[in-house]
Amino acid sequence: MSAATANGRRPRILISPDLETRATRRGPLLDVVAVDRPYVARVLEEGGTPIIAPIGLDDDAVADLIGVADGLLLTGGDFDVDPALFGEAPLPELGTLKPARTALEVSLLRAAVARGLPVLGVCGGMQLMNVVRGGSLWQDLPSQRPSPVAHSQVQTKDQPGHGVRIMDDTLLRRLCGEELLGVNSTHHQAIKAVGRDLVACAVADDGLVEAIVDPSLPFFLGVQWHPESMFEGAHRAIYRGLIRAAAERMGDTSRHVR
């Protein structure tokens, strides 16, 4: 599938990376900037060009990258959002923090919104979108909000762990075309209070917020699950929507820039 615009260029999607420490054969540990392949694969399949953002950028470098991007994808990962960002002390159950990654993603998100870029947040990316808008998170669902719904599934991410209900007349419903959707679930943090100007557009059977949207913007969407790891058309449609929104913005950059 191609989302190339009239000038022949594919939409460029800036992807936030993870920062991992890996052992090498010769002994020293190596810091590695990495992105899980499914994120890149979905962007490519839907007609976009993925660009991986390096960690450690200053404000000028962030502005340069955002200036050449047409959309932003905030990825998930095996780490937590620092509760200091939403005014809470850390609980003992809080997981690993990655301050450098979180700082980069906050900068990318703010710059992307200021430039009018479409934004998709996945899992932890959605949680950060909520926090940047003044919302809060459950730091640890099992201890703070016990539920019969398994929000950290044992099966692989290509299999659904539970269902969600998508609200009528929302961007997510228009993209997926379905009210009920099976999703994977691999998180222990989640949205507690929804941030300003955001609307919960999908919930799990236990009422937990599973997706958020800013209806005042052309495309500002976060989902708690990993649609890039699912194979149903409704999940792929989320990435298709991001690429299409980026292509539309390429054709009219002045209309969305604040």
pLDDT digits (tens, 9 = 90+) for 169-208: 999 999 999 999 999 999 999 999 999 999 999 999 999 9
CA 137 to chain centroid, in Å, comes to 15
Residue identified by tokens 């190339």 is 4
Listed in order, strand segments (DSSP E) in 8-151 are 12-15, 18-23, 29-34, 49-52, 71-74, 119-122, 136-138
What's the predicted TM-score (pTM) here? 0.94
Give the confidence band of 25 by pLDDT, cuts at 50, 70, 90.
confident
Q: Which residues are catalytic?
A: 123, 226, 228
Q: What are phi and psi of 230, to 5 degrees?
A: -100, 160
Structural contact between residues 137 and 192, judged by C-beta atoms closer than 8 angstroms: yes
Thinking of the domain 12-256, which architecture would CATH place it in?
3-Layer(aba) Sandwich (3.40)
State the pLDDT at residue 95.
95
Residue identified by tokens 């990318």 is 108
Structural contact between residues 101 and 34, judged by C-beta atoms closer than 8 angstroms: no
